[in-house]
A and B are shown apart, each in its own frame.
Chain A
Amino acid sequence: MPFIICRVKITNLVSLWLWDHRHVVGIDIDLHSLEIAQENAADLELDIDLIQCDIKNLNLRGLLVDTVVMNPPFGTSNKGADMEFISMGLKVASRAVYSLHKTSTREYIKKTALRNCNAISAEVLCELRYNLPQTYKFHKKKEVDIAVDFWRFVPRAREESRGEASKK
């Protein structure tokens, strides 16, 4: 079944093989990231479709998507940005959302996902070390090594409605 990857440049495209590359849609706000994703997909001989879109304005018919894999911004300077991604993912996915978040925010993520984002379960599958290069001006150090959780969220079963997936 189709699934969606958000912020495609950084997401490790190798993981797509797990899903037998049946139909993959990559979404990013930045065209340059999408071009890199296109090259990565071509190297792996994957046929993926790409959409340039701000995740918080995404409107999809939810029925078609079973899994969302994403690597949201960590929400350090823009608090709550990562929860917006989880919330969108859980509205669109029928099976599961996989996502990376800072280990230091574990309790907050769990509580918010279950209470506000329509998840019936939220579990950390493993803890990773994530080498974060300086990508934004507000990053003070050249690079930092941070602890990151790899999460699996399962959405609550719901009535489907066309084109209403991301409406708040």
Chain B
Amino acid sequence: MRLLTHNMLASNARGAVTGYPLKLQVVKWSTKEVEPNPDFLRGILPKLDWPALVAATHALGLPELLPETPPTDAELSAEGAAEEEGGPLRRLHRALLEIHIEEGTLVCPDTERCFPISRGVPNMLLHEDEVRN
């Protein structure tokens, strides 16, 4: 599971208010390099929950990866932004699309219900009596 998916996923456990954002506990993660797509990143940026994304990178032990405030559209659109190693576009690309959580846990912020991540797949299943009404 990548952090872009984490950014949209919420808990539906009984007692959850919003169930969002899920706290991330990471045991193992990996990196898989892919080609950045500037248009995609510019399109997705305004839809992200930035504090949730930053918190996820901190949980990974990468507090330097993203700044506290999101990059601007101008920064992502600048000429050569996609080629600039360590630049804002490449950092965002890495955070959202190149890091894969392999093993760990997602924790509901309201109820502390734990959802295990195993072999890259989060298990969000709930028993009937655990589901939010």
Contact = CB atoms under 8 A, between A and B. Distances in A.
Contacts of B121: 31, 34, 50-52
A23 B12 contact: no
Given A22-B40, A47-B32, A164-B18, A52 B125 contact: yes
A49 B132 contact: no
Interface residues of B, number: 34
Task: Tell me the dominant secondary structure on chain B's binding face.
Answer: loop
A111 interface: no
Contact of A57 (B5, B34, B40, B124): B124
B12 A58 contact: yes
14 contacts: A2-B8, A23-B44, A23-B97, A49-B1, A49-B5, A51-B9, A52-B125, A57-B12, A61-B49, A64-B8, A64-B44, A162-B10, A163-B18, A164-B18
A166 interface: yes
B23 interface: no
B7 interface: yes
Given A60-B9, A162-B20, A163-B10, A52 B122 contact: yes
Interface of B: 1-2, 4-5, 7-12, 16, 18-20, 32, 34, 37, 40, 43-44, 47-49, 97, 120-126, 131-133
Contacts of A22: 37, 40
A54 interface: yes
B7 A51 contact: no
Chain A interface residue bracket vs B? 20 to 34
Contact of A50 (B40, B120, B126, B131): B120
B109 to A, nearest CB: 10
Contacts of B40: 1, 22-23
A124 interface: no
Contacts of B132: 59, 167
B52 to A, nearest CB: 9
Given A50-B120, A50-B121, A51-B1, A57 B20 contact: no
Name the residue among A2, A51, A163 with the largest chain B CB count within 10 angstroms.
A163
A53 B123 CA distance: 7
Given A49-B5, A52-B122, A53-B125, A60 B10 contact: yes
B124 A51 contact: yes
B8 A65 contact: yes
Contacts of B122: 51-52
